[in-house]
Amino acid sequence: MIVKALRVGLGQLIVFGDWISRPAKQKRDAVAQSRVEQQAKSLALYQFHACPFCVKTRRTLHRLNVPVALRDAKNDHEHRQALLEGGGRVKVPCLRIEEQGNVTWMYESKAIIDYLDKRFASA
């Protein structure tokens, strides 16, 4: 019980720290931002709200100004089941990438952040 309380408290502290220190969004002209938003429709991030690795990944999305659908794999049974069936395990963060009819499930925050930086940093 004490461990759970500590975990919840620490998670909320991490979320608060993210909120007060969030990086500035990348600025693009309207046409470029529209392209990014269109490309982002093929992405979804399966995550837990207070997971430090998920926070790190969401900060990158915010910094790059990429509006990706966030899927709560902790509290939403449908999203949790989709992650298990599609990706093979319930581990977050996980980026679901759909391109040309193919779906890729990318785990590990570092791999996801590298992918996002390569795909959207210069967009």
pLDDT at 20: 86
pLDDT(10) > 80 = no
Return the CATH number of the domain spanning residue range 2-24+39-120.
3.40.30.10
pLDDT at 1: 78
Does the pTM exceed 0.75? yes
Cα angle value 73/74/79 (rounded, 5°):
30
What's the pLDDT tens digit per position in 65-119? 999 999 999 999 999 999 999 999 999 999 999 999 999 999 999 999 999 999 9
Q: Which residue has the higher pLDDT, 6 or 34?
A: 34
Q: Lowest-confidence range among 11-15, 29-33, 48-52, 66-70?
A: 11-15
pLDDT(60) > 90 = yes
Please provide the DSSP assignment of 21-80 as one string. TPPPPPP--HHHHHHHHHHHTTEEEEE-TT-HHHHHHHHHHHHHT--PEEEETTT-HHHH
pLDDT at 5: 75
Domain ranges within the chain, ordered by starting residue: 2-24+39-120
pLDDT at 21: 85
